[in-house]
A = this chain, B = another copy of it.
Amino acid sequence: MKSFVNYSETSDFSIHNIPFGVAVFNKEYIACATRIGDIVVDLATLYDFGFLDDVDGLSENVFEAYTLNEFIELGKPVTSAVRLKIQELLLEDSLLAKDEKSIEQCFFELDQVKMLMPVHVPNYTDFYSSEQHARNVGEMFRDPANALLPNWKHLPVGYHGRASSIVVSGTDIHRPKGQTKPKDAPAPVFGPTRQLDFELEMAFIVNRNTEMGESISTEQAEEAIFGLVLFNDWSARDIQAWEYVPLGPFLGKNFASSVSPWVVTLEALEPFRTEGPIQDPAVLPYLTFTGNKHYDISMEVGLTPSHGTEKTLAKTNFRHMYWNMCQQLAHHTVSGCNIEVGDLYASGTISGNSPESFGSMLELSWKGENPVVLNDGQKRSFIEDGDTVTMRGYAQKEGIRVGFGEVVATILPSKV
């Protein structure tokens, strides 16, 4: 497939991708969008011009919206057909390729565009599904000989996170404040966190509302998953450590999470399916599945200090998950918990087996025992004010590249 839009071989936004997002065009007009190379396409205007007229089930201009929710809710048969239609329109010699006037009105350069949150997120859940991450945390804080807790290989452990503070890439984050209990101090103290961390994650977004009492099976799950984004689950380790027993993370996580602006569809990731690890012990029947449910997606995280250059801290891969997305969604809903369009389900930190593939500063610096050295010689155990954290992700195979772009955020000092 060759597009009439030129882009570099290393672009995440090839003709094979066709992701969806929400953009402000020329600082004045908001609409749903897609991207090819460095061109952002205004889908609301494309719809108005009639280019999507022959897509069944797309009877209204759902792209004239501040979020993708209405579009996503149309369900796979429609969203998938829309994606294929857009792909066709972006090919050489398409109807659109020859229509200069439409191109002029629908196509925007990156610098004319600001990306917004792609979806309204009614509910957000964070899983804990990378075995190496769970082992690392267990080794550091619990028992190295029994790093994994007894339930870990039987169910995808997860918790409900704070939906209100999920923000799009490019949004600066204020350092959170909270209570911490310094080792051997007689009482807790209050102040800005001294152990601010990122967590390198993927997250999936669902396309439907279900009724309470209903469940989604592993078999049905993919039909309910619209697509994926990169996810930075910011964490304040010292706040978390003092608060989290017995009810889990709270202020240590609820101040912010960052997502990448482009939702990459499951369809675009289809060529990158891969096998997951063998699950031993065998899982309960409701968690069994058939076929390849993992995806081979390279991920990395870099840190740029203020006035400095970016240092790559870790490279990992989404295939390093013990539990796959279908299992996560099946488990989440097996209780009868209903889901809502736009719900976001994050993977948990994705760590590989080697130290260079750990997905958090906590693991990379091993609780601060081995600080990371930046390009200019500065050391980091955790994230400092002025630091910018950038995460990237892409899949590549036989000349096809499909990526997420990046999720980036800079840490500002605490508000007084």
Residues of chain A at the chain B interface (Cβ within 8 Å): 122-123, 128, 149-151, 154-155, 157-165, 167, 173-174, 176-179, 181, 187-190, 212-215, 236, 239, 242-252, 254-256, 281, 284-286, 331-332, 334-340, 343, 412, 414-415
Q: Are B284 and A190 in contact (CB under 8 A)?
A: yes
Complex contacts, A332 vs chain B, CB 8 Å: 251, 254
A248 & B251 in contact (Cβ 8 Å cutoff): no
Partner of A213, one of B128, B174, B339: B174
Q: How far is the CA of A304 from the CA of B150 in the complex (A)?
A: 38
Would A337 and B164 count as touching, CB distance under 8 A? yes
> Chain A's interface: helix, strand, loop or mixed, by majority?
loop
Residue of B nearest to A161 (CB): B160
Q: Which of B167, B181, B242, B343 contacts A212 (CB 8 A)?
A: B167
What is the CA–CA distance of A236 and B281 in the complex, to the nearest angstrom?
A: 25
Kindly state the separation between the CA atoms of A164 and B179 in the bound complex, as whole angstroms: 30
CB contact under 8 A between A256 and B123, given known A247-B159, A249-B247: no
Name A163's contact: one of B123, B187, B286, B415 (CB within 8 Å).
Answer: B123
* Contact (Cβ within 8 A) A331 B251: yes
The answer, among B248, B254, B256, for a CB contact under 8 Å with A249, is: B248
Residues of B within 8 A of A239 (CB): 335
Inter-chain contact A165/B251, CB cutoff 8 Å: no
Give the chain B neighbours of A285 by CB distance below 8 A. Answer: 190
Instruction: Specify which chain B residues have a CB less than 8 angstroms from the CB of A215 in the assembled complex.
Output: 177, 415
Residues of B within 8 A of A213 (CB): 173-174, 255, 412, 414-415
Judge whether B336 and A174 touch: CB under 8 Å: yes
Flag if B157 contacts A243 (CB, 8 Å): yes
Closest 8 CB pairs of A and B: A248-B248, A174-B213, A251-B335, A159-B247, A176-B335, A254-B337, A255-B335, A247-B248
* Best-surrounded residue of A178, A189, A343 (most CB of chain B within 10 A): A178
List, in ascending order, chain B residues with CB within 8 A of A128's CB.
Answer: 247
Cβ B122 vs Cβ A177 within 8 A:
no
- Give 13 pairs: A residue, B residue, CB < 8 Å, sorted on A: A149-B246, A151-B188, A155-B242, A160-B162, A162-B337, A164-B340, A173-B213, A176-B335, A176-B337, A190-B334, A248-B249, A251-B337, A255-B335
> Are A243 and B155 interface neighbours, CB within 8 A?
yes
Contacts of A165 in B (CB 8 A): 212, 337-338
CA gap between A131 and B60 in the complex, in Å: 54
Asked if residues B163 and A335 are in contact (CB atoms below 8 Å), the reply is no
For the complex, give the distance between the alpha carbons of A250 and B336 in Å: 12
Query: How distant is A203 from chain B, measured CB to nearest CB, in Å?
Result: 16
CB closest chain-B residue, reference A256 = B212
Given contacts A159-B249, A190-B284, A251-B334, 19 further A-B contacts (CB under 8 A): A122-B163, A123-B163, A128-B247, A150-B181, A154-B188, A155-B243, A157-B247, A158-B247, A164-B337, A173-B213, A174-B212, A179-B284, A213-B415, A239-B335, A245-B246, A247-B249, A251-B331, A256-B336, A336-B414
Q: How far apart are the CA atoms of A254 and B339 in the complex, in Å?
A: 11
- B residues near A338, Cβ cutoff 8 Å: 164-165
> CA A335 – CA B187 in complex, angstroms?
19
